Chains A and B, each alone.
Chain A
Amino acid sequence: MRFQFEDILLWAGLAAAAAVLSALATQLYQSGKLRAGRGKAIIVLRFFSLAALLMALGGLIIGPSVSHQEARLHVLVDRSLSMSWQSASVRQVLSSLSAWAKANGVALDFYAFHEELKKLKKSSEVFSVAEKNKTQIKTTLEALGGELDAGSAVVMLTDGVETEGLAAPRTALTVLPLAFGAGPASDLEIAEVRFPSAIFSRGEAPFRLILNYPAGLKDTLGVTIRDPKMNFSVWKTTLALTGLPPQEFELIFPVPRGIGPKNWELEINKAAWETDAANNRAEVRTEILREKLRVLYLAGQPSFDYGFLRELIRSQPSRELVSFVILRNPEDVPPYGETELSLIPFPAQEIFTQSLDEFDVFILQDFAFSRFALPFAYFEHIIRFVRSGGGFIFISGENVLKSAEYGAQAVSDFLGISLSGGEPFAGPMQWQVADPGTWNKIFTLHPDVDKNLETARERLSGVYAVYSGQDFSNSHPAVKLKDSQGREHPALVARSLDKGRVAWVGFSGSWSWKTSWGSDRKGLDVYDAFWEGLMKWASGEDAAGRSFQVFLDPERRRGLIRVTAVLEKGPPGSIKIWPGRKGFSAGGSPLNPVVERGPASTRGEPSGLVLGSGGKGDSPALNHYPGSETITITLEEKVSGSGIYEGWAPDLPAVWAAREFQTRLGGEVLTAKPSVLRGRQRDERRSRQDYAYLGEVAAANHGFVLGDAGQWAASVPAETGRRILSALKQSRERESWAGAPGGWRQELPKYLVLLASFILLVEWAWRRWSGITQ
């Protein structure tokens, strides 16, 4: 029993009054005045006082003495639909609660509710109650209050989602809500991440991670650092929880190749015993620096292209080049002996199986594996190299075109092009773009606008017929690319593949761009601009800081949903985004049922339904071209230079089903996986609201919030268990005053003491002024 200050005052007053009364009675009895007529009246008054004091004393003693009754805890389980994904957690909590009750001699009664209350015989019946859409906490508690004795302790398992409104009910029960879904406390949370602000590419970065979790809990959890922008895991490892929180981990992070600022997400994988993984994530901001760009260059034969490109790569001290040229084919027979040759054996196995990952960019020029009796399986290593973040530039040539090995489907899938026409070895073969999304005009590749070849298009077109669909000056006549309309172009196909990038260069002779630069050496150095741009692109340098994110908010307005895009270094004004090819079903049919064609686009964006940005007030601007096949959403930058664009999209299945959205920035098509805001942010906001409501319910019903259900996964936390026992005891004390209505039950001893004091005061005054005593 916990005494409050007023209880101590009450006991002290009672003791003092009893002492004074005893002293007065003794004094009067000794003086013989009690035997007089007025003395009898005084004795009556004093007896009344004594009776009142005894009643007060008795009340205080009798009230708490009912603790011998059996403690009974009522468990009320929310079976609304919003709790449906918490079933596993509810099961764990009930298990923990049953174990705790058994250990503490507490009997449990079970109830389930959604819009109506149902009494259960045992805990397992909870899950037999159907989940329903409504959650009527107010009605339920009032109904339960009518069934149970006043002061009964009720543990309510709920997420706090109330469909009746947010007015907290008031009952005579002691309501102890246990919050599901979220709350200020969590089962496991990342307390701190100390990650270095700058790390070197391909190095090792030690960092510290501090976790809080329920004491005594031992488990092994996975930890992942992922790139939310690209939606892939950068690194994975496991952590062993020792049961002694807060636990500090020192981890070594192997830094990947990609450079530039990184906004990663560190996530502790959700354990089976966890109900809320929202606090298992932390943002990791760092910048990957590159000491040197490491380039591996392998050429199938000596050529001026090789010589020029080699010199260009070597001209920058920030690059490190390792190159190999096949100087002699197996069929070549030098007229002089082997000792006259300076040739070294080509370390094919070492390059393809061991050393490849040490490089950022791999340039493979006119190299056919079969010609050098090498297994084509080595190409698989290149694919793996790219998928893990490497840059690969494949320069076509005669060796490649004569080789059937590059006709394999896996190669086509990898490079984004496929062979068409002609038989290998029988004549020149032609490549065709397999994936139109990978096509990239070579003259718009350079990320720097000033160095972008597009800028010099007019001047260059007079020198090289690059846009007319005619031959590229000095390009290889056999390696042209056909576009969708059958026109031939000098070829460059560039595409991102998982973490890396692939570029297929379908022409040779670019060295003549350099020698054609002109005697004045003014203007744009086409050769340098192209190859520098391509190497930067392949190594991911140009992508540093180009974050593109898309958010879909289900907040609807006149059949539209809000779309927000974040595009760092985006253009001023507006951008257009559209669902990428992955937005379509596996069978290739568009998910969008609107299938007719709209006006043609001039910049490569898909034509079709074009939506304006959000208008002012309640009427978003919407430009709808009826009968469209695809969707283009125009988003406007809200604050100039912010890179945040907002607009509206139709609430169509195709929009929701899009697994990625695309936009064009410069010459590059950026993709982003959309995030739906009904996810974490929305949940967190709602959970805070719901948790606050549970706090109100508890306060209005003599209880308190028991915390978050995640803490109960393994067992009832010791401190929480003590608080429940205390609440149970207090609730039974209050039950003992059931004879007095309402607040009188608690206040009666005080009034009795006051009555006794008043009687004694009257008696003293009567004696003082009527001369009974002197």
Chain B
Amino acid sequence: MEDKKIGVRGERSGVSKGILFLLFFLTPHPSPLTPSLWAFRPDRFRVGVLRYAAAEDHDPYPTVWRDLGRLLEQATSIETDPLVKEIISPTPRELAAHALIFWVTSPNFRSWSAAERQALKNWVRLGGGMIVVTGAEGIKSAANANDDQLDAKVRREIEAIFEGSSLEVVASTHAVFRSFYLVNQAGGVLIKNRSLVGIKTGERYGLVYSRNDLLGTLLRDQAGVYLFGCYPGGETQRKESVKLLVNIVVYALTGTYKQDVIHLPFIEQKLRLRRR
């Protein structure tokens, strides 16, 4: 994996089509092609992905959701929905069916409308919703996009959604970093910000933002080989990225559970053991 260049992807359209083909026809569960057998199970995990611009903008890695679901099923007791993700628009009706949504930013993102901002804000403040904003660094690097400009735009948009609130650094001791794995760093394909930042709603984070391309670390080719190398931490960085993604999902499902007093001595003990 070390020899892979950042931002270099395989034949994107071919990979996407191939993976979608596999998803549609080779999955052992009911597929979208058999809608009569299909029913969303609210007790199963599913994410929403916010729609804007073209599909390659708002969902540049359509195959990683399946991998994320597999990671969750393999390691945790979370039961995932067979489709794992659903592309949705930020309207109250579509948001209502989800409690965790991803907003994958790309240079083609312009802004949300006022109604969409209001819907997102209310949805977060209603209690359980959490938005994960993540960049697609691998793609942007390939396209030589001005990432700093995009980051500034995203931050302005976030602050426009949550008027009066500003992004703050999520402490490394926060439950996001301890909800399932003990995570040391923010991870991602390319470390542009060593911290995770977020907007707090009450005691929990209603939004977390990483510009390090967390999802890109899961992207594989047809042979199962990771497409993007991680810089500068290599596979260790990928591992932390994967752990953080799992943690974000568990955090969205359990909230501040790992901040309960009963967990603290156990976690401290494990951290001491790891430091040795």
Contact = CB atoms under 8 A, between A and B. Distances in A.
Contact of A334 (B75, B99, B256, B267): B75
A343 B266 CA distance: 8
Given A308-B99, A333-B75, A341-B181, A397 B128 contact: no
A241 B96 CA distance: 68
B239 A336 contact: yes
B97 interface: yes
A327 B43 contact: no
B26 interface: no
A326 interface: yes
Given A340-B243, A477-B41, A511-B42, A302 B250 contact: yes
Contacts of A334: 74-76, 181
B128 A514 contact: yes
Contacts of B45: 303-304
Contacts of B71: 335
B118 interface: yes
A696 B258 CA distance: 81
Nearest to A302: B253
B86 interface: no
Nearest to A514: B127
Given A311-B204, A329-B77, A519-B119, A508 B42 contact: yes
Q: Could you say which of A305, A311, A340, A477 has the most chain B C-beta atoms within 10 Å of its C-beta?
A: A340
A342 interface: yes
B276 to A, nearest CB: 10
Contacts, number: 156
Contacts of B141: none
Contact of A332 (B74, B96, B250, B270): B74
Interface residues of B, number: 56
B178 interface: yes
Interface in B23-78: 39-43, 45, 71, 73-78
B253 A306 contact: yes
Contacts of A519: 92, 118-119, 122
A474 B99 CA distance: 13
B112 interface: no
B252 interface: yes
Nearest to B203: A314
A476 B41 contact: yes
Interface in B80-127: 92, 95-100, 118-119, 122-123, 126-127
A343 B42 contact: no
B126 A517 contact: yes
A509 B128 contact: no
B255 interface: yes
A310 B42 contact: no
B182 interface: yes
Given A302-B77, A515-B128, A521-B126, A476 B181 contact: no
Interface string A686-730: 000000000000000000000000000000000000000000000
Interface in A328-376: 328-329, 332-336, 339-344, 366
Interface residues of A, number: 51
B267 A342 contact: yes
A310 B257 contact: yes
Interface in B230-276: 239, 242-243, 250, 252-258, 260, 262-263, 266-267, 270, 273-274
A388 interface: no
A511 B39 CA distance: 17
Contacts of B204: 311
A36 B267 CA distance: 140
Nearest to B255: A307
A323 B260 contact: yes
A312 B75 CA distance: 28
Contacts of A322: 260, 262
Contact of B99 (A307, A323, A326): A307
Given A302-B253, A339-B274, A515-B96, A398 B40 contact: no
Contacts of B182: 339-342
Contacts of B41: 476-477, 509
A286 interface: no
B79 interface: yes
A259 B256 CA distance: 29
Given A334-B74, A474-B42, A342 B180 contact: yes
Contacts of A516: 92, 96
B7 interface: no
A311 B255 CA distance: 7
Nearest to A343: B180
Contacts of A340: 181-182, 243
Interface string A85-97: 0000000000000
Contacts of A739: none
Nearest to B181: A340
A369 to B, nearest CB: 15
Contacts of A389: none
Q: Could you say which of A315, A333, A476, A511 has the most chain B C-beta atoms within 10 Å of its C-beta?
A: A511
A675 interface: no
A345 B190 CA distance: 35
Contacts of B216: none
A312 B127 contact: yes
B180 A327 contact: yes
B262 A303 contact: no
Contacts of B242: 335
B181 A306 contact: no
18 contacts: A300-B77, A301-B77, A302-B77, A308-B128, A323-B260, A327-B254, A332-B73, A335-B74, A336-B239, A343-B180, A366-B43, A474-B42, A475-B42, A476-B41, A508-B43, A515-B98, A515-B127, A518-B92
Q: Can you list the 8 inter-chain pairs with the closest CB atoms, starting with the nearest?
A: A509-B42, A302-B253, A334-B75, A508-B43, A516-B96, A304-B99, A344-B266, A301-B77
Given A304-B42, A342-B270, A519-B118, 9 more contacts: A302-B253, A305-B43, A310-B255, A314-B203, A328-B75, A341-B182, A508-B43, A509-B43, A516-B92
Interface of B: 39-43, 45, 71, 73-79, 92, 95-100, 118-119, 122-123, 126-129, 178-182, 202-204, 239, 242-243, 250, 252-258, 260, 262-263, 266-267, 270, 273-274
